[in-house]
């Protein structure tokens, strides 16, 4: 069996006494990986050296702790990586931006139910990429909106250095608008009866999302 690609030896052959340095590439999976080396020579019985590489502790993190989307809304994808057996997403209550949590997200490119075990457990051997997509409505106000999305791994571990368990989503403010009587209309005519007085009023409607004044 060939030596796996994650394992490197300072030399593969020699004569007499030698010290062999053993190194490995970064191991992002959460399960120990192992390989048994065979040291053989003509005559003596072969020797076995079991090489174990320490795993990375269970983790999950968004790629960034912030995300943004334009005033027009649309699809918003938030990405990250993990080595957990399952991930659970939530939207924190109280934000001005209303986000509907999707029932599925992608783990290593495969649709996976929120909070369910990930098929094939890819995180056992290496960290995998995940992504979750939201559909955001247009922002028709003149204020920016925010919401906070969180992710938790199977063990409920705390975020380590450089890791993000929450992502603050900001939607840009919408455009101010001002119409009379109906959306899209900027002129109107009202006729006041000759008799005048409060019993003979005319009326028009102002439709706006910002402060306005009449002069």
Same domain for 147 and 200, yes or no, is: no
CATH number at residue 158: 2.60.40.10
Q: What is the mean pLDDT, run by run of 10 residues, along the chain of 215 residues?
A: 93 94 97 96 96 97 98 98 98 94 97 97 98 97 97 96 96 90 90 84 88 90
Same domain for 167 and 191, yes or no, is: no
Same domain for 46 and 69, yes or no, is: no
What pLDDT, on the 0 to 100 scale, is given for residue 125?
97
Q: What total number of domains does the chain contain?
A: 3
Boundaries of domain holding 201 = 177-208
Same domain for 24 and 47, yes or no, is: yes
Same domain for 27 and 100, yes or no, is: no
Judge whether 214 lies within some domain. no
What pLDDT, on the 0 to 100 scale, is given for residue 48?
96
Q: How far apart are CA 138 and CA 84, in angstroms?
A: 34
Same domain for 128 and 159, yes or no, is: yes
What pLDDT, on the 0 to 100 scale, is given for residue 108?
96
What pLDDT, on the 0 to 100 scale, is given for residue 198?
83
Same domain for 109 and 156, yes or no, is: yes
Same domain for 106 and 132, yes or no, is: yes
Same domain for 69 and 166, yes or no, is: yes
Q: How far apart are CA 9 and CA 80, in angstroms?
A: 33
If you write DSSP's letter for every residue of 18-86 in order, what string do you get?
A: -PPPEEE----SSS-EEEEEEE--SSSPPEEEEEEEPPPPP-EEES-SEEEE-TT-EEEEEEEEE--SB
Structure tokens, 159: 């975020």
What pLDDT, on the 0 to 100 scale, is given for residue 200?
83
Judge whether 131 lies within some domain. yes
What pLDDT, on the 0 to 100 scale, is given for residue 136?
97
What pLDDT, on the 0 to 100 scale, is given for residue 13?
93
Model pTM score? 0.85
Rg of the chain taking only CA atoms, in angstroms: 31
Same domain for 197 and 118, yes or no, is: no
Judge whether 69 lies within some domain. yes
Indicate the residue among 37, 53, 69 that finishes a domain.
53
What pLDDT, on the 0 to 100 scale, is given for residue 115?
97
The answer to whether 10 and 26 are in contact (CB under 8 A) is no
Judge whether 213 lies within some domain. no
What pLDDT, on the 0 to 100 scale, is given for residue 175?
87
Same domain for 65 and 148, yes or no, is: yes
């Amino acid at each position: 069996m060939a030596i796996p690609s994650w394992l490197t030896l300072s030399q593969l052959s020699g004569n007499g006494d030698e010290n062999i340095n053993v190194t490995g590439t970064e191991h992002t999976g959460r399960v120990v990986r192992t390989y048994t080396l065979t040291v053989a020579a003509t005559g003596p019985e072969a020797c076995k050296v079991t090489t174990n590489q320490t795993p990375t502790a269970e983790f999950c993190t968004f790629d960034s702790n912030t995300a943004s989307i334009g005033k027009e809304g649309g699809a918003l994808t938030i990405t990250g990586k993990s080595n957990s057996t399952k991930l659970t997403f939530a939207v924190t209550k109280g934000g001005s931006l209303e986000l509907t949590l999707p029932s599925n997200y992608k783990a290593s490119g495969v649709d996976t139910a929120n909070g369910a075990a990930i098929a094939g457990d890819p995180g056992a051997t290496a960290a995998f990429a995940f992504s979750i997509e939201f559909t955001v409505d247009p922002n028709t106000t003149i204020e920016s909106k925010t919401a906070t999305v969180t992710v938790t791994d199977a063990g409920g571990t705390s975020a380590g250095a450089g890791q993000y368990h929450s992502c603050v989503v900001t939607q840009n403010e919408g455009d101010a608008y001002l119409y009379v009587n109906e959306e899209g209309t900027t002129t109107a005519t009202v006729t006041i009866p000759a008799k005048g007085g409060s019993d003979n009023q005319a009326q028009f409607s102002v439709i706006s999302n910002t402060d306005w004044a009449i002069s």
